[in-house]
Structure 1
Amino acid sequence: MTALLLFAKPLWNTPKNNFSPPDGKKKGNIMSKSAQLGRRDSIIVSLSSYIAATVLCFVSYMRMPEHWEMMPKFMVAAAIATFFIFIMSYLLKNSSMYDPFWSVQPMVFGAGLVAAYGIENVTTHQWITVIGMQLYGLRLTSNFYRDWPGLSHEDWRYKDLAEKSGKAYWLVSLSGIHFFPTVQVFMGCLPAFYLFAAENTGGDSYLILSILGWVVLYGSVLLAFVADEQMRNFRRNPENKGKTMDQGLWSRNRHPNYLGECSTWIGLWILILAYNPSYWWTGCGAIAILVMFYGVSIPWMDRRSLERRPGFDEYMKRTGRLFPKLF
């Protein structure tokens, strides 16, 4: 259960706290490396790290034994990239270095699939799916960097975990904050992998289900974008400081951005069902992500909001946890 608690961060930016040791005191220069970096330098460090991780991912894939199947190669390459980002997190004493990885990983997987099979061999169905994955990743990654204060701040959840785990924090960070989300996203991308590797046996329902999958995939990206923009505009108004966002998409749903996130993975699942129904089991990733958000991330967020925002309890009564409360 500890691992589930580790990746429970919002898809829109929340105030983040500096990491401090469990006793609440900074020891030595534990934060000196990242605390001295401003927003501009932090973005340069972060982007450079992810470019290096992406190159490392592709190079490691190419150097793996030829007799290996595609899936293990992608898995090992993702693990190597994750460990590289963890090293950066450790050197900078800030686990928020990993935060963009969730959205960068699908983009790298999509590009990797096209490269592995050859551009000339990619079908229309596959192209539309890969483009959807790129849009998802670009939107979520840009959303992170737009309001990110830099490496002088760290997600408040990591501070909570540091206080609970004490000296074992970096082991917890490696296993939970870094590797657990990587596995989650890998599982969520399983439908995309088999969309390239499997044979098309969709039959008469192929086109109908494909259109449905694309509508869900692209519609979910749009839903999350609108929800994040509404929240961003609300927060930029000084008069709303300390208030609860209850306008637009947020009037009936406490976390419409999370709904868009979870629906994105469901859209990918529908697409493999259209292409080859025998791979229905690849929906395990989408289900795991849905369970994580519904059962862990949202309750954790709501508990914090109850402590910090007056009237949030009333807001909870008239809104749905993940799905809109219509009546």
Structure 2
Amino acid sequence: MSGFDGAGFAGNLAWSAGAVLVVLGATYVASRIAGKHSVIDTAWGLLFVAVAVVSFVRAPDGVSDVRRYLLLALPGLWGLRLAIHIGRRSIGKPEDPRYEKLLAKARGNPELYALRTVYLLQGVLAFVVASPVLVGAFERAPVGPIAIVGAVLWAVGVFFEAVGDSQLEAFRRDPANKGRIMDVGLWRYTRHPNYFGDACVWWGIFLVAADAWPGVLTVFAPVLMTLLLTKGSGVRILEGHMQGRPGWDEYVARTSAFVPRPPR
């Protein structure tokens, strides 16, 4: 059977948006208990888990079960791993300087400003990026080769993201590396293996949805995620923070900024 359950999709938008708001509300409460708004970084992956779970539950009989399960598992596993990783990394840490700088611009009530610029904004971005999940869960066409390629690309992305994060943690734990630039393992081939992996994950999820109509129309979602990673709060801000460190310029000169390749 081919086609798209447009009515089911439309109804699911409200349910998924509600799930995102519930996660954001719980995150805001947790941030006030912890005394730092950077708790939202841990919740970022959970926003996608919420959308994936609700879309899976709301999908009716007649849709592609294989695609439905893929669009539950791929964003779900990715989001849970990311939340656990960031949550562990942030335990005992103070407020992230990014949020201190952002909230220093607040005019009027600082809590309302935080709700708008930190929580609501990230909720909207997550909802837009999750469009392939929202659409793909209601596609009736059977899974084809493009979706399989997408699942493989997702696996490549999770490898780069998880292994890159693990290698960086191990590097930082070694006192001998204090003040040094991480340039071994996957970090030898790209300055941001975790961000590259993140982009692969969402291009892979898009391909699972784009295997059938109208999933191809959600191409804006992985494009947006890639722009956020390379031009938004990812590469640009991190590299600005690294400027001036000993060995950084040499590392930049020989190592790809994003897509892995042999060092120069």
| Short-chain TM bin | 0.7 to 0.9
Match of 1:303 among 219, 240, 243: 240
Counterpart Cα distance in 2 of 1:119 and 1:158: 44
User: Who is 1:292 aligned against?
Assistant: 228
**Structure 2 residue 132 is the aligned partner of structure 1 residue 195:** no
**Residue 189 of structure 1 contacts residue 268 of structure 1 at CA under 8 Å; is this kept in 2?**
no
Shift in Å, 1:183: 1.5
Task: Tell me if 1:280 matches 2:216.
Answer: yes
Distance 1:318 1:284 in 2: 32
Question: Which residue does the alignment assign to 1:163?
Answer: 104
Shift of 1:256: 0.6
Q: How does 1:11-160 map to 2 (within 5 A)?
A: 69-90=11-32, 92-117=34-59, 123-150=65-92, 153-160=94-101
1:320 corresponds to 2:259: no
Unaligned runs of 5+ in 2: 1-7
TM-score (norm 2): 0.86
Alignment check: 8 A CA contact 2:49 2:75 kept:
yes
Kept in 2: contact 1:252–1:324 (CA 8 A): yes
Unpaired runs of 5+ residues, structure 1, are: 1-65
Give the drift of 1:128.
2.7
TM superposition score normalised by structure 1: 0.70
**Is the contact between residue 103 and residue 137 of structure 1 (CA under 8 Å) also seen in structure 2?**
yes
Q: Give aligned-pair identity as a percent.
A: 24
Q: What is the CA deviation profile of residues 242-264 of structure 1, one whole-angstrom value per residue up to 9, with x for unaligned ones?
A: 21100011012111100111111
Structure 2 CA distance for aligned equivalents of residues 120 and 275 of structure 1: 14
In the aligned structure 2, how far is the partner of 1:325 from the partner of 1:167? 48
Contact 1:90 1:170 in 2 (8 A): no
Q: Distance in 2 between matches of 1:319 and 1:165?
A: 38
Query: Per chain length, whose mean CA-contact separation is higher, i.e. which structure has more relative contact order (CA < 8 Å, sep 6+)?
Result: 1
Aligned ranges 1:222-233 → 2 under 5 Å: 222-233=159-170
Paired letter, 1:130 = L
The CA deviation at 1:179 is: 1.6
Q: 2:203 aligns with which of 266, 271, 274?
A: 266
Three-state SS of the structure 2 residue aligned to 1:215 is helix
Report which stretch shifted further, 93-102 or 160-169: 160-169
Cα pair 1:318 1:325 within 8 Å, conserved: no
Task: Report how far residue 162 of structure 1 moved.
Answer: 3.1
Give the letter aligned to residue 187 of structure 1.
V
Root-mean-square deviation (CA), in Å? 2.5
Q: 1:169 to 1:299 in 2, by over 3 A?
A: farther
Segment drifting more, 155-164 vs 291-300: 155-164
**Count of residue pairs brought into register by the alignment:** 254
The answer as to 2:146 corresponding to 1:209 is yes
Residue 190 of structure 2 aligns to a residue whose secondary structure is coil
